[in-house]
Structure 1
Amino acid sequence: MKTAKYFIEKLGLQTHPEGGFYKETYRAKEEVENEHGNKRNLTTAIYFLLENDNKSHFHKIKSDELWFHQFGATLEILYIEKDELKTIYLGNDVENGEVLQATIPANTWFASRMKNYESFGLVSCTVSPGFDFADFEMAKKQELIKTHPQLSAVLEEMCLD
């Protein structure tokens, strides 16, 4: 039986600043200029793994991000849309509403966690235009609570500071 530790070691995953583990697997050589006038690689891809109570804390990026379920249990992707908290269940139980892939639009606050904290999930993520840490913003808990007080319980759990 393959475990989180197996994938972390075999894929060479390292700790991600937002939480969980990752490894970049692709960065296009071609570049595009994003809407802010900055050059970015056309697209990037990573492996991303969460286990047990690991969380990918609320953050946003300036590009669309596509998530693809690869192995293991279901992840919950939480995102804020029009002051409402929405949830995508990324997993392989499509008969019960899970999806194999999901898109998080650019500039959307989002986070993820395991649906069942006694498991792990391995996903792949692609970003286009490509990911750059200059386009990455971690949520400031108190600021997000101030703008979304109705979501304070989940923000307390899913924000770092």
Structure 2
Amino acid sequence: MTTKAVYIKQLGLLPHPEGGWYKQLYHSEDTFFAPESNGDRYRYTSILFLLDSTHPSHFHRLNHDELWYFHDGSPVTIHCIDVNGNYQTVRLGKNILAGERLQFRVTKKTIFASEVTDSNSFGLVSCMVSPGFDYHDFELFTKAELLADYPSYTELIDRLGS
């Protein structure tokens, strides 16, 4: 069984500003002008992303869709707050009989965070963004910002806000 430390070392993963570890693997060869970003973007970007039970991905938002693909480890729970303030949770994992999914799309403008809830465990996923990821299209939220808009999600925001 491959451990978190082995994945981090062998895949060359680095700490991610939103939490966890990552490495960008691919992006399209060409770029185009993305009006919603007001700038040139790759057509897609793809990363490996590893979370563990003590390093969640904190609440953030992208202005493009992001596809998540489960690879290994424990399930990863994605917490989503849509543009209307509705909350949804999805578990990525291999146990499809228990409702886990192998893939999930986080739609653009959704505020979301993700975590591994099994203690002393990790989850390895890939994430693909189209048009490609750029930090100009990324917003990381503080707990105070989120609590002002979503007070009914206090426990979740306290746990996964930055």
- Other structure's SS at 1:89 match: strand
For 1:111 and 1:117, the matched residues in 2 are separated by 18
- Other structure's SS at 1:130 match: coil
Look up the match of 1:102. 104
Q: Give the drift of 1:54.
A: 1.1
1:39-69 C-alpha deviation (Å, 9 max, x unpaired) = 1000000000011221100001111000000
Look up the match of 1:47. 48
For 1:117 and 1:30, the matched residues in 2 are separated by 42
Look up the match of 2:144. 142
Look up the match of 1:70. 71
- Other structure's SS at 2:57 match: strand
- Other structure's SS at 2:5 match: helix
**Structure 1: segments with no counterpart, 5+ residues:** none
Q: Give the drift of 1:36.
A: 3.6
Distance 1:85 1:117, change over 3 A: farther
Q: Give me the identity figure in percent.
A: 39
For 2:154 and 2:103, the matched residues in 1 are separated by 28
Q: Give the drift of 1:115.
A: 2.8
For 1:54 and 1:99, the matched residues in 2 are separated by 21
The amino acid that maps onto 1:17 is P
Q: Give the drift of 1:151.
A: 0.6
The amino acid that maps onto 2:129 is V
Look up the match of 1:118. 120
**Structure 2: segments with no counterpart, 5+ residues:** none
Q: Give the drift of 1:83.
A: 1.9
- Other structure's SS at 2:50 match: strand
For 1:117 and 1:138, the matched residues in 2 are separated by 25
The amino acid that maps onto 2:2 is K
- Other structure's SS at 2:136 match: helix
Q: Give the drift of 1:33.
A: 1.9
For 2:4 and 2:37, the matched residues in 1 are separated by 38
Q: Give the drift of 1:118.
A: 2.3
1:61 aligns with 2:62: yes
For 2:133 and 2:72, the matched residues in 1 are separated by 23
The amino acid that maps onto 1:24 is Q
Normalising to structure 2: TM-score of the pair? 0.95
* Number of residue-to-residue matches in the alignment: 160
1:56-112 C-alpha deviation (Å, 9 max, x unpaired) = 000011110000001111000001023232111000000010000000011110000
Contact kept, 8 Å, 2:27 with 2:44, in 1: the verdict is yes
